[in-house]
Amino acid sequence: MISPEEARRILAAATVVHDADTVREAIARVAVAIDVELGEANPLIMTVLQGGLFFAGQLLPLFGFPMQQTSVHVSRYSNGAPGDLMWVARPTVEVTGRTVLLVDDVFDEGLTLAAIAAELAEQGAQRVYSAVIANKQVPKKSAYRPDFVALECGDEYLFGCGMDVQGYWRNLPSIYAVAP
Helix, strand or coil, per DSSP, at residue 2: coil
Angle at 133 between CA 174 and CA 56, to 5 degrees: 95
For residue 80, is pLDDT > 70?
no
> How much is the pLDDT for 142?
86
For residue 16, is pLDDT > 90?
yes
Work out the mean pLDDT of the chain and round it to a whole number: 93
> How much is the pLDDT for 91?
83
Which residues neighbour 171 within 8 Å (Cβ) at sequence distance 6 or greater?
54, 160
For residue 78, is pLDDT > 60?
no
Question: From CA 23, how far away is CA 155, in angstroms rounded?
Answer: 18
Question: From CA 15, how far away is CA 7, in angstroms rounded?
Answer: 14
Q: What is the CATH number of domain 15-177?
A: 3.40.50.2020
* 145-168 pLDDT tens trace: 999 999 999 999 999 999 999 999
Would you kindly state where each structural domain of the chain is located, as residue ranges? 15-177
Give mean pLDDT, residues 63-81. 82
